[in-house]
Structure 1
Amino acid sequence: MDQNEYLYFLRRALDGMVSALEELGDELANTAPPQTGANSPYAITYHCMAVAQYWIGHILAGRPVDRDRDSEFTARGTVTDLKGSLGPLFDQLRDDLLDVEGLTVPRNTAPASFEGPDRDLSCLGVQLHVLEELAQHHGQVETARDVLLNGGM
């Protein structure tokens, strides 16, 4: 797999989420839509960055990653700070993927509590899972943006 092309698609998803946050501004970006159990667009985007960091950095590359998954869904902050952390994240992910071979076994296994796929994955499977998560959450952030910009309707 061409890792640069893979990272291009991850970046498109995260850039799209950040673009939606910029449309909302800090206050609305940190506001959850009125639907029961909804998370703020900021928290969803923050979660996606943690997903990429954990699954690629820890599961694939074997790098220690300190993750508090539950706190990702209550994360708050400024859009500017979140956007500023994308460059360093992608520099790290690029380094993490240097020695990853598609059908080999990842260096680590995720705990079942992280709600990943319910089967053992190859490195390629882990990468597809990250892309799956970012793609679905990109749509979720855009839907939340639309709801929040239209007064919660």
Structure 2
Amino acid sequence: MQDQNEYLYFLRRAFDGMLGVLDDLGDGLGNARPPLPGANSVYAIAYHCAAVADYWTGHVIAGREVDRDRAAEFTATGHGKDLRRQVDDLFEQLEADLAAVTAASAPCNTPPADFEGPDRPLSVQGVQLHVLEELAQHHGQIQITRDLLKRGASS
């Protein structure tokens, strides 16, 4: 069995950073969108990241059924404290999902092409790198969104 603690550690760091921004902004600004074409709220981005980690790790790697409405993730609204609890629950699930994963494991499922993942077949390690890639990008997006919102740029 491969030790997944280091992977989960880096996922947690990314989520802690995103949720920290959401805590800092509060629910009002956390659910606001900056006035830029296609911009998303901090809450929606963090919510999307939870869905990314759940789907790619739980469904693609572990084979667990995950009901995901990707388009709805970008319009999600809610309370930061509720999302933090959801992420905490997700980490318990991810730990269970990864318990039997080894370096030689193959992902149980292939994602649909419209989920905008990498354009090649992935190993378990490749899927995990993709999740980290997504979370790192969106963590930065959340930081920029925070900066815009704190300067009064919201719609």
- Alignment pair present for 1:118 and 2:119: yes
Distance 1:64 1:70 in 2: 18
Q: Letter of the 1:82 partner, please give it.
A: L
Give the Cα separation in 1 of the matches to 2:51 and 2:86.
11
Q: Tell me the distance in 1 between the aligned counterparts of 2:144 and 2:4.
A: 29
Is it true that 1:92 corresponds to 2:105 in the alignment?
Answer: no
1:144 maps onto 2:149 in alignment: no
One-letter amino acid of the counterpart of residue 87, structure 2: L
Gaps (5+ residues) in structure 2?
none
CA distance in 2, matches of 1:23, 1:142: 11
| Residue number in structure 2 paired with 1:10 | 11
CA distance, structure 2, for counterparts of residue 102 and residue 57 of structure 1:
16
Paired residue secondary structure (2:5): helix
Residue number in structure 1 paired with 2:48: 47
Identical-residue share of aligned pairs (%): 62
Q: How many residues align?
A: 153
How big is the shift at 1:103?
A: 4.1
* TM-score (norm: length of structure 2): 0.95
Contact 1:101 1:124 in 2 (8 A): no
Alignment of 1:30-45 (within 5 A): 30-45=31-46
How much has 1:101 moved relative to structure 2?
2.0
Distance in 2, matches of 1:103 and 1:43, equals 35
- CA deviation after TM superposition for structure 1 residue 86, in Å: 1.8
TM-score with structure 1 setting the length? 0.97
- Indicate conservation of the 8 Å contact 1:103/1:124, yes or no: no
Structure 1: 5+ residue runs without aligned partners? none
- Superposed CA RMSD: 1.2
Q: Distance in 1 between matches of 2:3 and 2:99?
A: 10
What is the distance in 2 between the residues matched to 1:98 and 1:104? 12
